[in-house]
Amino acid sequence: MRLKQNELVDLSETPDQSVMGAWYVNEFRVERKKCLIFMNERTLLSFILFGVRKSNTNKDLLPDMCLEGVFQLLKLERFSLESISRIIEDSYESRYAKTDSRKVLGNMNELAATYEHMIWHEGGLAHCDLNDLFSRVNRTPQRNLGWNYSIDIARELLGAPAPQQSV
C-alpha cells in the first residue's frame, strides 16, 4: 500500500492481523546525532539506527529501513530464515498512523532512555557494539511483558525455538 507522504490512516478501522503486530518508530538524539528507535508493539523487541539524515527519514523510506533493521536483528538473534520471512511478509504492507497510546509511548521513551544510557556507559557511539547493545536491551525484563524478555516473547509468538548455545 503506497500512501501519500502525509496521509494517515485510522488503525482502529483496520486492525493489524500480523503475528507480531505493528512496529513503531520514534526519534531521539545521542551525541547530537539523530537516532531512530523501532519497537514492536506486542514484544517490545527493539533496535536503533543512528546518524540518520533528515533526507533519509521521509515516510517513503521508513518501511524499508524498518524491514532491513528487523531482518538484521532477527538474523543476529539466530532466528530461522522461515521465521524471518514470516515477519517480513507480515510487515510488508505499511500504513502510517499517530499513536496516542500512553503505554506505547511510555515503552518507547523508556527503551530510548535505556539505549542512550547504555551508549554513554560504553563510551559513546564510536565505542559501543550495537549488536551487543541490542541483545542486552532485548534481554532486559519488561514490566509490561510480565517481567519477560522481548526476545523470548518474539520467539514464542513465532514458535521459534531458542538457538542452541555453542560450547
Secondary structure (H, E, C), 31-80: CCEEEEEEEECCCCCEEEEECCCHHHCCCCCHHHHHHHHHHHHHHHCCCC
23-158: CATH class: alpha beta
Residues (pLDDT < 50) of the chain are 1-6, 8-9, 11, 167
Phi and psi torsions of 49, nearest 5°: -120, 135
Q: What is the DSSP letter of 144?
A: G
- Predicted pLDDT of residue 132: 97
Cell of 21: 503486530
